[in-house]
Each structure stands twice: as C-alpha cells, then as structure tokens.
A and B are shown apart, each in its own frame.
Chain A
Amino acid sequence: GAVVSQHPSRVICKSGTSVKIECRSLDFQATTMFWYRQFPKQSLMLMATSNEGSKATYEQGVEKDKFLINHASLTLSTLTVASAHPEDSSFYICSASDGGSYNEQFFGPGTRLTVL
C-alpha cells in the first residue's frame, strides 16, 4: 500500500514553455502533499506544502507565481512550472501524507525536467 505516482517521469521542453507535473496517491487519501526539488548530488529541498482544497504554503525563496500548485482532490496534486527556463531544470519529487499518527510521507518516483 501507500503508493504515489508521478507523471511524466521525464520531460524535455524549450525555454518559455509551461510544464505540468502530476502527483497521485493511488491507494490512500492524501490530506497533504509536498513538492521537493533536488539538484545533482544535493539533498531534497521542500518547495511547498499543499492541503486539499486550500492554497499551497510556499517555502521562503520559492516563487508562487512561477511554481503553481493545485491540490484539487485527495488523490491528486499538480505542479506547473510557468515559463520554464534552463535554471528550472531539476528533479522534482512529490510526497503525500494521509495525516496518520506517524506523519509518514510516501514519495513518488520523481520527474526529471530539462529545459533547453
């Protein structure tokens, strides 16, 4: 159980394109979803936290107009990178929590974004 999927797994786009990444909890209801980015040989950096039906909470330094997050249902959150530029190239990983007593997060397989 506790499976999280991401789509697409890999995307290559031209500069200026907007890219949408989906994160789905397949077998549980995710009250909270998290979006991380990871640069090569670096750790995961939390970008934002989203709760179903409410606005996402962004970490300091993350542009909310650049990284648009929608958590429309208890099983789906989307991250849209608006007008992507080469510096947005990174590995984006989502996680989901069912709010259980352990506060455990279950991670998706990640999306590799390359902006040319």
Chain B
Amino acid sequence: KQEVTQIPAALSVPEGENLVLNCSFTDSAIYNLQWFRQDPGKGLTSLLLIQSSQREQTSGRLNASLDKSSGRSTLYIAASQPGDSATYLCAVTPGGNNRLAFGKGNQVVVIP
C-alpha cells in the first residue's frame, strides 16, 4: 500500500524567505505526483502535476522536483508572501490506477 509522508507537518517563516516542503512515498511505481494547496475549510487547488517521466515542473514562484527512484518530491516556493499561508498537500497516483494517495500536508504560515 502506498504511504505518503510530508515533512515538516507545520512551519512558520518570515515573509520573503524561500519555502521548502518535502514529500516522500514508499512505492516508486507511480504514474504522476501532484501538489495541491488547501485553504482552511476549502477544497483543493492544483498547483503542479509532475508526470513520472519528468523531473520537475515550474509555475511562477513554485518549483516542484521529483526523484522517483528515491521516492521523493520537493516543493519550493520562492520569496514567500503572507498569501502563501495554507496547507500544501502532496498526492501520488499509483501506476495502474487513478486513485490518489495523499500525505497529511505541510501547514505553512508566512509571517508579515
């Protein structure tokens, strides 16, 4: 069974610092990996999707890397802003089916 772990569970950083969020998964046979953002009481917003054949994806200040062989992904958020405060969820699609396995999230607070 695929297990997804996110470290740290929570972190606070001053505005302007770069954020580094880590995700690890136990089974490297994945189809893709997604990073989502979730605001309190809200649904999920997809940030980046990395196919298993890709090593990274970038969108604006966000960059996500994928090392499938070691079962790791890292989400970088450059020059953090208070509006980046949210929970960031990592999810993998196991190979062979489309059922996402989620981590518990990284809860981020950016301090103005």
Contacts and interface: CB of A to CB of B under 8 A. Distances in A.
Q: Do A and B come from one complex?
A: yes
Contacts of A46: 99-100
B105 A93 contact: no
Interface in B49-68: 49, 51
B99 A106 contact: no
A105 B36 CA distance: 11
A109 B16 CA distance: 29
Chain B interface size, as a band, is 20 to 34
Main secondary structure of the interface of A (DSSP, over half): strand
Main secondary structure of the interface of B (DSSP, over half): strand
Given A109-B42, A112-B41, A103 B93 contact: yes
A97 interface: yes
Given A43-B105, A44-B89, A102-B32, A107 B99 contact: no
Contacts of B99: 34, 46, 49
A49 B102 CA distance: 15
Nearest to A10: B41
Interface of A: 6, 32, 34, 41-46, 49, 91, 93, 95, 97, 102-110, 112
